[in-house]
Amino acid sequence: MPPVSLRCKECQTEYALDARYVCERCFGPLEVAYAPANPADAGELKRRIQAGPHSIWRYGDFLPTDGRGYPLPAGWTPLIRADRLARELGLAEVWVKNDAANPTHSFKDRVVSVALARARELGFETIACASTGNLANAVAAHAAAAGLESYVFIPSDLEEQKILATGVYGTNLVAVGGNYDDVNRLCTELSGDHDWAFVNINMRPYYAEGSKTLAFEIAEQLNFELPDRIVAPIASGSLFTKIARGFTEWIDAGLLEGELPIFNGAQADGCSPVAQAFAAGLDFCRPVKPDTIAKSLAIGNPADGPYALDLARASGGRIDSVSDEEIRAGIRLLAQTTGVFTETAGGVTTAVLAKLAARGEIGPDERVVIVITGEGLKTLDAVRGTFSAWQIDASVAAFEAAAAERAGAVGPVGVSARTGAVH
C-alpha cells in the first residue's frame, strides 16, 4: 500500500507528500493516504512482515517510508501477559505493551524514526521538536545516530532526568519559560522561518504514522488476533487514534478478522481537556492550563482531542482522568505486579485500568491491552517517599527483629500499613 498523498482529515483535499501539516482550504490536519489494500494479498503481506527486521521497519508496507539503512532501530517491544495484575483487579486477561524497551525508553522512538527517515528523503539536514520530555530524548538521540543537527525545545520546568537524557546526545537544548502549549506555539512560528524538519509540526503527518506500529505489533504478538480493549494515555490524542488506525488498516488488508477494540483513554486530572469534554458530551476540547505530575501528558490544547473523543464513543469506550495520588498508586501497582517500572503516563494508564475494573466496565472474558509509553527512571520524583528501606545494624539479630516488626505492619489483605503498597 504505497503512500499516494497527504489528505485533509476534514475536507479530504489532497496534497503532495512534502513537509506540510495543515490544509490550506479548511486548516484541518493532514495525514498520509495510501493506495487501497487488496485482501487477496494478505498471505504475501504476512510473509513479508514475519521475514522483516525486529523493528518498526518490518511494517514498511504500511508506512510512508521503508526506513532503509535507518541507524537506530526502534519497536518490537515486549507484550507481557500480566496475570498478577489481572488477578489483583479481578480481570480475566491483561497484557502490558511495554514501550519503555525502545532505544530512548519511550514510544517516541517510533514516531521520530518515521519522521526523521522521511525528513532525510526530503533533504532536511536539521530536525527539531517541541517536547514534554520523551520526544526530546528521542529527537536528540536519533539525530545523533543519523549525523544531523537538532534543536529541542522544552518547558523549563521539565523533569531533570529527561533534561539530562536529552542534553547528553549533544543537541541544541532550549528551555522555554512556559508550559508545553507555549513551547509548541513558539516552534510553530519558528518552523515558518527556518528550513528545519520539526518532527511534530511540519513533519507531523509522517511522525504520527509511527504510532500505528504499536497496533501492528500488538496484533502480531497476539498471533494476528485483535484484543477486546485498549487502554492508552492521551496527550495530543495522536497516539490513541493512530493505534486504532493501525488495527483498521490491518482489518482492511485482510490480516485481522473482527471489529475494532473498545478504546479507553487515560488522562491526569490536572490536564484532562479530553476527559472533561467526554464527560460533558462535547465534540471539542476546551483548553486547560496543565497542573499535574504527568508532564508527558501535559498538553492543555490537544490537536487530536476531537478525534480521540470520536474514537472512544464510536468504539463503546470512554475517556477517564485520575488524580496525582492515583497516578503514583498506578505506578506502584504496575511495578509490584508485573516488574515494569513506568513513568507517570503509565501510572495514569494503569490507574484508569483499575478504575474501569472497579466500576465493573470490563467484561469477564475480555482480553485487555494497556499501553505503557515510557520508563519510570525518567520520573523518579513521582515515587519518592512512597516506600522506605529497612534500617538495621549489621547483625542477624537486628535483621530478625526488623523482619518481625515489619510482618506485624502488614495487614491481612497484603497491604503495608506503612506505605499502602500492594503485596
User: What would the grid cell of residue 12 be?
Assistant: 479530504
Write the burial class of residue 257 (CB in 10 Å: 0-12 exposed, 13-18 middle, 19+ buried): exposed
CA 146 to chain centre: 23
Instruction: For residue range 350-397, list pLDDT tens digits in order.
Output: 999 999 999 999 999 999 999 999 999 999 999 998 888 999 999 999
Per-residue pLDDT band for 410 (boundaries 50, 70, 90) equals low
How long is the chain? Answer: 423
Range 271-281 average pLDDT = 98
Residue 423 has pLDDT above 70, yes or no: no
| Radius of gyration of the chain measured on its C-alpha atoms | 22
Q: Higher-confidence residue: 158 or 106?
A: 106
**Contacts for 33 with CB less than 8 Å, ≥ 6 apart:** 3, 4, 5, 6, 7, 14
Residue with cell 492508552: 232
Give the residue extent of every domain in the chain: 1-36, 79-106+211-383, 108-207
The 8-class DSSP code of residue 92 comes to S
Instruction: For residue range 53-79, list pLDDT tens digits in order.
Output: 999 999 999 999 988 899 999 999 999
**Spatial distance between the Cα atoms of 241 and 322, rounded to a whole number of angstroms:** 20
Instruction: For residue range 285-339, list pLDDT tens digits in order.
Output: 999 999 999 999 999 999 999 999 999 999 999 999 999 999 999 999 999 999 9
pLDDT score at 408: 80
Kindly give the interhelix angle for 238-252 and 212-221, rounded to the nearest 10 degrees. Answer: 50
Range 8-34 average pLDDT = 96
Per-residue pLDDT band for 106 (boundaries 50, 70, 90) equals very high
**Spatial distance between the Cα atoms of 266 and 43, rounded to a whole number of angstroms:** 36
Residue 127 has pLDDT above 50, yes or no: yes
Range 243-260 average pLDDT = 97
**Spatial distance between the Cα atoms of 337 and 355, rounded to a whole number of angstroms:** 17
What percent helix, strand, coil does the chain show, rounded to 5?
40, 15, 40
pLDDT score at 49: 97
Where helices occur in 133-272 by DSSP H, the ranges are 134-146, 160-167, 180-191, 204-209, 212-221, 238-252
State whether residue 276 is helix, strand or coil: helix
Instruction: Report the percentage of the chain scoring pLDDT > 90.
Output: 91
CB neighbours of residue 361 within 10 Å? 16
Range 136-148 average pLDDT = 97
For 79-106+211-383, CATH number out of 3.40.50.1100, 3.40.50.300, 3.40.1350.10, 3.30.930.10 equals 3.40.50.1100
Using DSSP bridges, classify how beta strands 149-155 and 30-34 pair: parallel, antiparallel or unpaired.
Answer: unpaired
Mean pLDDT, the chain, integer:
94
Q: Do 79-106+211-383 and 108-207 fold alike per CATH?
A: yes
- Residue 394 sits at φ, ψ, to 5 deg, of -80, 65
Instruction: For residue range 145-185, list pLDDT tens digits in order.
Output: 999 999 999 999 888 999 999 999 999 999 999 999 999 99
State whether residue 350 is helix, strand or coil: helix
For 108-207, CATH number out of 3.20.20.70, 2.40.30.270, 3.90.1150.10, 3.40.50.1100 equals 3.40.50.1100
pLDDT score at 406: 87
- Identity (one letter) of the amino acid at 398? A
Range 267-286 average pLDDT = 97
**Spatial distance between the Cα atoms of 56 and 115, rounded to a whole number of angstroms:** 13
Instruction: For residue range 206-242, list pLDDT tens digits in order.
Output: 999 999 999 999 999 999 999 999 999 999 999 999 9
Residue with cell 538495621: 392
Residue 418 has pLDDT above 70, yes or no: no
State whether residue 119 is helix, strand or coil: helix
pLDDT score at 419: 36
User: What would the grid cell of residue 266 be?
Assistant: 487515560
Residue 417 has pLDDT above 90, yes or no: no
**Spatial distance between the Cα atoms of 272 and 301, rounded to a whole number of angstroms:** 10
What secondary structure, in 3-state letters, does 315-330 show? CCCCEEEECHHHHHHH
